[in-house]
A and B are shown apart, each in its own frame.
Chain A
Amino acid sequence: EVQLVESGGGLVQPGRSLRLSCAASGFTFDDYAMHWVRQAPGKGLEWVSGISWNSGSIGYADSVKGRFTISRDNAKNSLYLQMNSLRAEDMALYYCAKGPGYSSGWYDYWGQGTLVTVSS
């Protein structure tokens, strides 16, 4: 059974940093692309960032480019999102999502999300 468990969310002041993690199990992690998708309270889904199976292809939404960094550790079956210079508009539930292939633009499994609150 595919499981994606996010962690690392919490309350952070504007301008500060936070690192999210996603622990994956139930599949061969290094065979699949992974993504972060967020959802602001009461709003829709927004793709944040994606990384291919071997980290050779990485992409970011314009809204986070230059501030967020996605990475993965295939030996630890883990995905990360380093978030710097956080803004109020970054406040959201952050989902880790698995792609169906090595480098894919959609998501076949989602985690439960970790909540990031940005407030002074």
Chain B
Amino acid sequence: NFMLTQPHSVSESPGKTVTISCTRSSGSIASNYVQWYQQRPGSSPTTVIYEDNQRPSGVPDRFSGSIDSSSNSASLTISGLKTEDEADYYCQSYDSSNHGVFGGGTKLTVL
């Protein structure tokens, strides 16, 4: 099966833009949709991006997702950073049998 690799941590200032990458180890990133989940400390994960670039209702348009076949990676971009965005972010995809695969998670610090 494939793996998804994320940076361990990123940090940026309020109001700025940050991008978190997620690289697929084998097979095409476009083979199966990529999702992004936000997990604040002590809370359950919530979906911020699904199907590569779709936002659930209630998620601000400051959050956007994309995939890049040339680098075989997905990206989560958060613009106009707020302190409330500080959380762990996980990318996730699945194989042809719907077996889930998560990235290791990225800790976003907004300082």
Q: Is A33 an interface residue (CB 8 A)?
A: yes
Q: For A37, list chain B residues within 8 Å (CB).
A: 100
Alpha-carbon distance between A95 and B97 when the two chains are bound, in angstroms: 20
- State whether the Cβ of B13 lies closer than 8 Å to any Cβ in chain A: no
Q: Looking at the complex, which one of B44, B50, B88 makes contact with A108 (CB distance below 8 Å)?
A: B50
The CA-CA distance from A107 to B36 in the complex, in Å, is 10
Per the CB 8 Å criterion, the residue count for chain B at the interface is: 26
Contact with A105, one of B44, B93, B103 (Cβ below 8 angstroms) = B93
| Interfacial residues, chain B to chain A (CB-CB below 8 A) | 32-33, 35, 37, 39, 44-47, 50, 56, 88, 90, 92-95, 97-105
Known: A45-B105, A105-B95. 7 other contacts (CB 8 A): A44-B103, A45-B39, A47-B102, A105-B32, A105-B98, A107-B47, A107-B100
